Amino acid sequence: MHKPHRILKLLSLLVLLGFFISSCGEIKKHNTLKLAHGLPTDHPVHKAMVYMADRCKEVSGGKLQIQIYAGGQLGSEQQCVELLQIGSLAITKVSAAVMESFTDDYKVLGLPYIFRDQEHGFKVLDGEIGKELLLSTKNKWIRGLCFYDAGSRSFYTINKQIENPDDLKGMKIRVMKSKTAMDMVQALGGSPTPISWGELYTALQSGVVDGAENNPPSFYTSHHYEVCKYYSLDEHTSVPDVLIISQHIWNDLTEEEKEWLQQAADDSVPVERKLWAESVKHSLEEVQKAGVTIYHPDKAPYMEKVKGVYDSYKDQEVIYSYIKRIQAVE
């Protein structure tokens, strides 16, 4: 009497099971990775990430997709890195300076004039040394995908133009809270003063510091040009950005998915570099319109002054080896 009822119940279970199996197939078929960062949507690095997401969808035929959360929606840079380490976030972007806290290897990228020029820097980052650095934090559950251009940092000041290193004597220059940055300004004769980025405008305005150093887009978007009317393009450091993925999530991807993602990341690099160059050009034009005097100094005296910074790493075998290898790249 109850047999038809049992058959119907069994059929319903089979239908539900079939739906569940097909749903799982759909989830795997359309794998979505979360990418979060703190930049605004008009930033060249964000635009490059959008290109990467589109490219990933294209090369995978829609099977691997990237969902981007911009402007700090999922937390600060530090919080994003922590989420990434436990596998709760797939991808984020950090400065190579941040990576120094996970491995000493990255310190080499913060050294002054480690790259002879932009072309030399790109060769190093795109080559064997760059690949080694990207994989140097795997044991911390962080894997680098690619390097993005973040420009070169130069000095901007309130009252006088920096035409050579001697002009820095006695000047208080804001630096990041980084030993490498402090050593560099000290070697050039200035007085390094660590101040958080958010407090710098007020510090410049009130004369707590005499100047700071950063790339042209940051100088422009921060409105520091309203206070500092002198910009000397000595380009002392060229610390790149790094696109990183959680090693936990990377391990969960199939070989095919890894290839799709890496190809999309690699393809986004030249796009980001072009967007960055356009941003630098626009920023320099705008600050000049606002009354900033731009100076192109001879870099040789600056390079000479910071040689001692390199020597201080002679007893650190790994970093000194990287210095020598980078200098050898033609």
Shared domain for 170 and 204, answered yes or no, is: yes
pLDDT for position 6: 53
Is the distance from CB of 158 to CB of 210 less than 8 angstroms? yes
pLDDT for position 308: 87
Question: DSSP letter string over 64-121?
Answer: EEEEEE-TTTT--HHHHHHHHHTTS--EEEEEHHHHTTT-GGGGGGGSTT-SSSHHHH
Shared domain for 200 and 245, answered yes or no, is: no
Q: CA-CA distance, 99 to 244, in Å (whole number)?
A: 10
Q: What is the mean pLDDT of the chain?
A: 89
pLDDT for position 181: 85
CATH of the domain at 91: 3.40.190.170
Shared domain for 245 and 142, answered yes or no, is: yes
Number of domains making up the chain: 2
In a domain, residue 109? The reply is no
Shared domain for 78 and 89, answered yes or no, is: yes
Residue-range definition of the domain harbouring residue 216: 153-238+283-328
pLDDT for position 21: 38
In a domain, residue 118? The reply is no
pLDDT for position 146: 98
In a domain, residue 7? The reply is no
pLDDT for position 98: 84
Spans of the chain, pLDDT less than 50 = 1, 7-29
Shared domain for 93 and 227, answered yes or no, is: no
Q: What is the pTM of this model?
A: 0.84
